[in-house]
Chains A and B, each alone.
Chain A
Amino acid sequence: MGGIHSSLAAWAVSSRGPLRMEERELIRRAQGGDLPAFEQLVRGWRDQVFRIARQIVGDEEGAKDVAQMVFIRLWQGLGRYREGGSFAAYLHRITVNLAIDFHRQQARRHPTDSWDPVALDQIPSRPQDPNASLAPGEVQRVFRVLSARLTPRQRAVFVLREIEEVSTEDVAEILGMRQSTVRNHVLEARRILREGLARLFPEYARGQEGREK
């Protein structure tokens, strides 16, 4: 549960939202139909929901749409949420499922290979100075290109475990798989991303190496 706790702590610190004790009260009030309380919950969680959706869906507008659907679905399902269960895991499960569905729909409508030359043209210019820090938007675009080679499940596992630092146990619960499967997905996703990074963005890899020295 360390990942969930750390994500809740990060949320409490970074979101200008209420602390965790207050969160329980907000959930109780929202379960009773209190929309202002639910709005505070949305404000507290929207950044993380958006981040997870963005890494799975691949674009910001789509992720925003998914985040909107997530909170509507959360409102409808709040009555089924029982205190004592992990609210974060409950919310992450909704987020991942809706984001994967959205991504599959988009993929059916616009089947493209993000590693093709046209898609690669959209990548930002490579850094001239290997020690220069990459803007967050550039890292985002690199991840978008490389993660296109991951299956939706691999991508979801990598995003939750390696980016959002949710524990393996919680990722397994969220995605309904065994912890060993989660670990295998992480290993495979890391291998694919590492190969892609070395092949397509060697300058970025060198830049990171330079920064770490």
Chain B
Amino acid sequence: MNDPRDPSAYFRSLRESNPKEEFWIGFWPSVRAGIREADLTRRPILTRTGALLLGSFAGVMVAAAVLVLGFLVVPALRVHPVPSSPGEAAVPEAMTRAEEAARPPVMEDLSPATARVYTFHVGERADGTDVILIVDESIDI
């Protein structure tokens, strides 16, 4: 402070020059908006918590999918039972000629000759899908 031209002493008064309270009007809302915007853009698609939850439920979801598939396939098997004797046509009694005609033909080049191919339509007609089932005693499930 002895040197009258000491810039450190000269400019130290800037430390005391704070803006008035009015200057800060709208400052915090802007910061808060910026925080929200930044959080949105930086947020990962799958948060850590979400990943843990998804991981813990994955097994349950797979089990549920197997059950649903089972509910769809097992009744169909009951409608179309496997023939009790080789060579017997596995055609349900209730199946009409028209339905039989609409079915895909039984594949002829299967080996062994006792194998049979059954098709089932699962779901609505437009959105459903055909399930093709190959049955033979020699197939080890």
- Which of A's residues lie within 8 Å of B, judged by CB? 14, 35, 39, 42-43, 46-47, 50-51, 55, 60, 64, 67-69, 71-72, 75-76, 136-137, 139-140, 143, 146, 158, 162-165, 189-190, 193-194, 197-198, 204-206, 208-209, 212
Contact = CB atoms under 8 A, between A and B. Distances in A.
Nearest to B32: A35
Given A64-B27, A72-B35, A163 B4 contact: no
Given A68-B31, A69-B34, A136-B13, 5 more contacts: A55-B14, A76-B38, A139-B13, A140-B17, A143-B14
Contact of A194 (B6, B13, B42): B6
19 contacts: A42-B27, A47-B19, A50-B18, A50-B19, A55-B14, A72-B31, A136-B13, A136-B16, A139-B11, A139-B17, A140-B17, A163-B12, A164-B15, A165-B12, A190-B8, A193-B10, A197-B7, A197-B10, A206-B4
A208 B14 contact: no
Interface of A is mostly: helix
B: contact size bracket: 20 to 34
Contacts of B11: 139, 143, 162-163, 193
Interface string B21-35: 001100110111011
A194 B12 contact: no
A46 B7 contact: no
Interface in B18-71: 18-19, 23-24, 27-28, 30-32, 34-35, 38, 42
Given A136-B14, A197-B7, A212-B1, A60 B19 contact: yes
